[in-house]
Amino acid sequence: MQPPYSPDEVERMVAARMARASIFERSPAPALSFVLEEAALRRPIGGTMAWRRQLERLLEVGRLHNVVLQVMPLNCETHSGMDGKIELLKFADGSAVGRSDGAFNGRPTSDPKQLRILELRYGTIRAQALSPRESLPFIEQLRGET
């Protein structure tokens, strides 16, 4: 069980989450790609109704023209993302930064060789996951189980 948060901490966390969510409304819209573990999608954190709303939000975001959403199925026993998340950010000026829990001591990097390793690893993860065309119906099926 997590420690109780003060009202100020809860307010700060909600404000931060809302600020992160605003990325989907930017213009021009950034290109976004996510691979989510099936296990995370099946965990009903907050109860059944909160879980259902989370799945509905994923479906809403996954249908945006600038978002690619994929699911890594449980039946994929091992995959290239087993060491943890990979984050890659590419900017309009051509610069980039990335990090991975399992590479480069988890520290952010802008080294082109290290970024290429992260890009290749993420490409492999995407190839191992359900396709975007398969992933949204999969999430819809999960929502139907709620």
Residue carrying the six token digits 């051509």: 94
Transcribe 33-99 into DSSP letters.
Answer: EEEEEHHHHH--TT-HHHHHHHHHHHHHHHTSTTEEEEEE-TT--S-TTTT--EEEEE-TTS-EEEE
- Kindly state the helix (H) or strand (E) to which residue 100 belongs, with its residue range: strand 96-100
**Tens-digit pLDDT profile for residues 77-129:** 776 677 788 999 999 899 999 999 888 888 999 999 999 999 999 999 999 99
Contact 62, 136 (CB under 8 A): yes
Contact 51, 45 (CB under 8 A): yes
CA distance 137 to 133: 8
As given in the structure block, the two tokens for residue 40 are 């995370």
Mean local confidence (pLDDT), 15-31 = 85
**Tens-digit pLDDT profile for residues 51-65:** 999 999 999 999 999
Is 31's pLDDT higher than 80?
yes
CA distance 121 to 109: 15
* Domain locations along the chain: 30-76+129-146, 79-128
Mean of the per-residue pLDDT values of the chain? 90
- Banded model confidence at residue 1, pLDDT cuts 50, 70, 90: low
Closest CA to 146 of 40, 41, 73: 41
